[in-house]
Structure 1
């Protein structure tokens, strides 16, 4: 199977690469390294073709997609800081980049998986968000809701290509995916708090910490992505992929301190201080995973404690590597 992965050097993308290599796929990766890194693929570098470039480069994308049978489209502007600091680049990458991917998939008769986001649901705080739940968005002049709107357009493009042009396409909406290789550099909460705990720094929790999330393990989420693309019943649908346990960010921070054995304290930081005036957060975001379970048997099994432990181990190894390099 010849497979193209956009954003394959990123956190989730690199785990997807691992699983597809195990399956025997021949893999081509396109990544602009805006958030991903070649280090994520160092262990498989001689087994894949890695090309630096953007999904906005339609000519390059067409060249790489020539003859592929599957496309996993993960390339996107991601992370709170990226979205807030570079809203224009985020819009172009997330909308025009997806359109380019769908075009080349159609020309090659390739199946494509569009990786969307739980941000789609905006400020909807329902008990468990199912795929048909209402989207509750704020002002289009607020970067966070602009990002959510752009990803919604991505999904609309994918659905239209499927319905009008017969493209085999499925969509997944990951909820707060966590695991090794994730960095806190772009506002990702778990690796950021873990790094602070390991360094003995105060753990910065934004707002009052009562906001809740469900964290899914990257290995389970990536495996489900492969299954969703191959499931005939998932074609033209959007499918949630999230964790099973709802936990507050304050409880999460306490758990990280306990698991790391850190003496760090927790400091509450107002959103305005962290992100500037006008930033909005969601008080609650809980996925309804029933559709994924019905379609592909997805069942998040790894508990949050084990997910954190995996991130701790990975972060310790990365920090030790940096220290060893600096001593040379």
Structure 2
């Protein structure tokens, strides 16, 4: 099999590339390195069947050429992270919507199967927890830029499903819930690597808000296994799937567990949302997925507990800290 991974130098994309190379497949990576890093794929360069292009997913000729060479496409390229969303809303919307338009248009010419990576953010302020794929999406007002990311990814979903229904392009949608693991950076607001780096360097663990907001964290290798399984299964086409874990934890409890597992004496510091992201910022109080649909189709089950995930991330930063893990890169 020959697969194209847009955003393949990113955190999830690089692990997905590893998985396909491990199967003996051929992998083509497209990434402009805006949020990804060449360091994530350096160890893959030179491996048989691995190819990469440093170019934007907006560059239609490059996308078309790569799509033509491949059997399937994973569209992971996107603007990610709460901090990037708040600070660069135009970039967020244009990257997410236009990039998806380019990929779907190119894939449609040869009817190549496309998996679109969406996000738990699309559920917005919904209180119908755990979130089901057929549940209502409840977004905040357009005057609050916080919701531009969720809205742009929802548009991606609508567009991908429209291509399937109207033009018979085989598409799959996955909504990812807080994927974590080695090689993830906290640069754009990802909480686990941020807490781990703060704990290991003796800095305060900074919690935005009161810490009662809760999340469910999933190891990147479990997520990658689900992505591969869905791409291989013909029953996934035209469907939307949650991928995540049901082990819920508050951010306050997460900070305490990171301290415990690192042996850190770092204090825990609460920072008001207004100070971190500006006035009027809204957060999702809970993010808990119902994963019954993906479990029923491909037998998906998260294999790692939260403690095991934290230990893996802690070990990664202790043993081989990348450039992004230097103390000078941590938030003040």
Asked if these proteins are the same fold (TM beyond 0.5), I'd say yes
Q: Report the equivalent of 1:121.
A: 123
1:156-175 per-residue CA deviation (whole Å, 9 max, x = no partner) reads: 01101101111111010000
Find the counterpart in structure 2 of residue 17 from structure 1. Answer: 17
Could you tell me how far apart the structure 2 residues matched to 1:318 and 1:95 are? Answer: 35
Conserved 8 A contact 1:130-1:240:
yes
How many positions carry a matched residue from both structures?
A: 325
User: What is the aligned-residue RMSD (CA, Å)?
Assistant: 1.6
| 1:319 aligned counterpart, secondary structure | coil
When residues 323 and 294 of structure 1 are mapped into structure 2, their CA distance, relative to the original with a 3 A threshold, is closer
Counterparts of 1:11-50 in structure 2, within 5 Å, are: 11-47=11-47, 48-50=50-52
Return the offset for 1:320. Answer: 7.8
Report the CA distance shift for 1:136/1:323 in structure 2 as closer, same or farther (over 3 A): closer
Q: Deviations over 1:147-200 (max 9, x none)?
A: 111101100011011011111110100000010000001000000000000001
Deviations 1:56-77 (A, max 9, x none): 1111111222231010000000
Q: Which residue of 1 aligns with 2:137?
A: 135
Paired residues of 2:215 and 2:287 also in contact (CA < 8 A): yes
SS of the residue 2:187 aligns to: helix
* C-alpha distance after superposition, 1:205-245 (max 9, x if no partner): 11110100000110000110111122222111110001120
Quick one: distance in 1 between partners of 2:77 and 2:197?
Answer: 25
Stretches of structure 1 lacking an aligned partner (at least 5 in a row): none
Question: Aligned residue for 2:329?
Answer: none
Q: 1:5 to 1:321 in 2, by over 3 A?
A: closer
- Report if the CA contact (8 A) 2:197-2:325 is conserved: no
Q: 2:306 matched to 1:308? A: no
SS of residue paired to 2:297? helix
Change (3 A) 1:320 1:136: closer
- The answer to whether the 8 A contact 1:169-1:229 is kept is no
Q: State the Cα deviation string for residues 109-168 of structure 1 (Å, max 9, x = none).
A: 211100000001001132200001111101113222111111011000110110111111
| Residue 147, structure 1, aligned to residue 149, structure 2 | yes
Q: Is the 8 A contact 1:69 1:109 kept in 2?
A: no
- 1:19-68 Cα distance to aligned partner (Å, 9 max, x none): 01111111111101111101111111113211111111111111222231
